[in-house]
Amino acid sequence: MDSPNFCLLKNRCHDDWQAYTQHRFLRELADGSLPKAAFQHYLQQDYLFLIHFARAYALAAYKSRTLADLRQAHEGLKAILDLELGLHVEYCAGWGISEAALEQTPEARPTTAYTRYVLDTGQRGDLLDLHVALAPCVIGYAEIADWINAQSFTVRGAANPYDAWIGMYESDEFQAAAQSERDWINARMERLPAPRIAQIAQIFREATRLETDFWAMNFEESAYS
């Protein structure tokens, strides 16, 4: 039998993974029909989300025993601060929303739920628990960009207002970050006993479901904010 690896985590929550990575939000983003208000809500919440995820990578750095693990955490932190947040600030500036205003955005409950789940899982568990809680995000967005590009209904270029978002997650930098995260998790899963696999599969599933809520909230803003 093959040794356990990242694919096993996805297979154990196949339906949840599909619900997350092929969500209605993404279909509409891909063909450009997503209402602007839904995207704006998403991006503003994601700004708050990324600040907490940067803290989670800092926690991963703190929990690292080796220089290699420290560098892995550093890469995640850098990608958020130097790349990802820049897109959010730029989109929002285009809509007349300043960074100061972004910081004042009230946090929606799905944002609180997901970010604090990852931070709590990381504090309670070890470095593998933390990376598995982060995996749906890092690896999921890279797979989502590939999925979007493979769909016949996808519209790219100036005709799609969300083209820059797709462009960021299909980029070599993000695809490489996702691959490095897959490799890191694969190496640590190789000799894990079944009960430990079951534990991390549960974490992966929970984080995946919280990602789905993060898409869904943008269509039902009044229920959350």
Ligand X SMILES: Cc1ncc(C[n+]2csc(CCO)c2C)c(N)n1
- Do residues 47 and 131 make contact, with C-beta atoms less than 8 angstroms apart? no
Instruction: Considering the complex, state which of residue 129 and residue 211 has its C-beta at the smaller distance from ligand X.
Output: 211
- Do residues 106 and 225 make contact, with C-beta atoms less than 8 angstroms apart? yes
Is residue 84 part of the annotated active site? The answer reads no
User: Binding segment for ligand X among 20-28, 78-86, 98-106, 158-166 (CB under 6 A)?
Assistant: 78-86
Instruction: Please identify which of the residues 84, 137, 181, 206 carries the catalytic annotation.
Output: 137
Is residue 137 part of the annotated active site? The answer reads yes
Distance CA 148, CA 29 (A): 9
Instruction: Considering the complex, state which of residue 186 and residue 196 has its C-beta at the smaller distance from ligand X.
Output: 186
Instruction: Considering the complex, state which of residue 49 and residue 184 has its C-beta at the smaller distance from ligand X.
Output: 49
Q: Does 85 bind ligand X (CB under 6 A)?
A: no
Residue 204, token pair as written in the block: 């992966």
Distance CA 111, CA 50 (A): 10
Of 84, 91, 208, 209, the one binding ligand X by CB under 6 A: 84
User: C-alpha distances in angstroms, 16 versus 24, 204, 210, 213?
Assistant: 14, 10, 10, 11
Query: What residues between 46 and 65 interact with ligand X by CB under 6 A?
Result: 46, 49-50, 53
Torsion-angle region of 64 (φ positive above 0: left; ψ -120 to 50: alpha; else: beta): beta
Q: Does 79 bind ligand X (CB under 6 A)?
A: yes
Of 73, 133, 137, 201, the one binding ligand X by CB under 6 A: 137
What positions carry a catalytic annotation? 137, 211
